[in-house]
Structure 1
Amino acid sequence: MWMLPGQNQSWVSEFILLGLSSDTTSNRFLFIFFFLLYLSSVLGSGLIIILICLDSRLHTPMYFFLCILSLLDMGYVTTIVPQMLVHLLAASKTISFAGCWLQMYVFGALGLTEAIFFVVMAYDRYVAICYPLHYTVILTWDLCMRLAAGTWTCGFLFSLIHTFLTMRLPYCGPNIINHYFCEGPSVQSLACMDTHLIEMVDLVISVFVVLTPISLIVASYICIALAILKIKSTQGRCKAFSTCASHLTVVTFFYAPAIYIYVIPKSSYSPECGKQVSLFYNVFTALLNPVVYSLRNKDIKVAFLKVMGHGRVA
């Protein structure tokens, strides 16, 4: 870490996470609630991955992207929730400087990857609705692999920049983080130097991975809407829209809290409100995604029944 010239400072070697509540009884109920929530989200995402891998009818670009989305959900919720569960019951709520660095980086990498990956999924729906006869010609497996690899590379690269700049700040005073995990804005607020430059870098990254993807997604769905309006039959319109409804739902619930946390000015950021919003962004969205895609998707239901030994059930 950096040393401030002319000062004899004691440097932070660990942080204390305040968590969600200081009440022991409340923490026990929260532990049970979030443990069940975490278990459900991991099992739900894991089940979707298994079904897609086992059922050859689901070996299409759309379900390949859904498999990656489920993997990302499992990853970033596992980066946050297990430690939060331990801190809900443990007397000590500390995390080492290195542990904080690692948690911030992995969570940021997976979250940023997912933010960019939603554009890829929107492009998939755009091709499927606007160019249905050329779907497999346009979205080849080579292109799908390149798109997936590109999103992962961007996510891990931008997270490395954000985490490196944040953890290179001098932390020589308070070490209490008003959060349940090492979230960027909360950690930066503890630095004993001006963080204006870091905030500007974060804003640029946020614009690239939040506002730009949203703009591309909106543009793709405008084209999709225009294509759907050209369909003459009402049944055909409903079927076309239903293929996009799940994606629109998860995109809305992902980006809305992300914009509040990472895009709005830091002067308007409330730590307590930020914790509540990030809970939805981090935990509930990971549970929502498999629920939305499984309940609204006939192919997933059929694959599940087939795996359970009811292959003849429609």
Structure 2
Amino acid sequence: MESLTSMYKRYFDESLFSPKNEVSLMPRPEVGTGSIDRITTYSGIEIVYYNICYHASCPFVFASKGRMVELQFALSGQRQVMVSDQIYELPAGKGALAFMQNFQAQFYPPTPERYVSLALGIPVTLFDYAANQLATSLNRKFEFNRILDGQASRAYYFDIDTRSMALVKQLISVFTNANRSPLMMEAFALELLNRHMIQLFDLIPRPRGLSTGDLQKLHRVKQVLESCMADPPSLQALAKMAGVNDFKLKSGFKACFGLTVFEYLRHIRLDYAMKLLQDGEANVTEAAMRVGYSNVSAFSEQFFRRYGVKPSAIKNQ
């Protein structure tokens, strides 16, 4: 059976790209401009960052008898893939966890808009290990073979939320840096996989005293915090919006997510500030203000506590 790494290598060898160096590939001149960066982590995860502008739609076919899991994030453009007569589309702002085995896929690259995406190829053994560990306490099974159940492909779709987008941007920033850290790339990739396995397969254990409806309401609180982190509602307003009382909001949120509401707010604020600084979209003061800090010194202190580096150092990089 074809390994994941050899599958990716053959995919790029047979597709519309030519090697630029040991990490990057370029589209053939008649195909488009831009580049694809690809690296394999220590645990065998294939990280692939696409930043391509196609001159014209150039469909191509790829087939393999191997097995693969791929976590995909579409940042710009929309690609279509047909697997076993079933069409899969992934527009910008969406993600998917896709499973394939013994398949033939026909790819339809987007044109004329720029196509930017991040893909994480996950070894099936790693996915199954994580699935078994995550589901043990819930007495559930959802390994690769159970998910596909003899089919050639299956995909679970999701919206890319604020936290996931911050992780994706951080991974891309580390990946495209000449002094990239393999441990940081591995860490971001594993956190993204863990996050979406938990979400897509509903693997959050229900703490005592909370109903399924309570869990849904607490997830709503997370979404509200992520959408308005710079000016979040008060705890009382959050509780009213979610339809829970203050006590259940405070104790339930901590029981479900391991952080208090304020701790979670601080984490997503700092994560987004890190993204702004890494992308060059803001200086330190601007980043602090955009995520809701009126005191830049307090922002810098909390940033250093979380990341072990001053925000000015990120900006200077």
> Higher relative CO (CA 8 A, sep ≥ 6), structure 1 or 2?
1
Report the TM-score, using the length of structure 1 for normalisation.
Answer: 0.28
Task: Indicate the structure with greater strand content.
Answer: 2
Bigger proportion of residues as helix: 1
| TM-score, normalised relative to structure 2 | 0.28
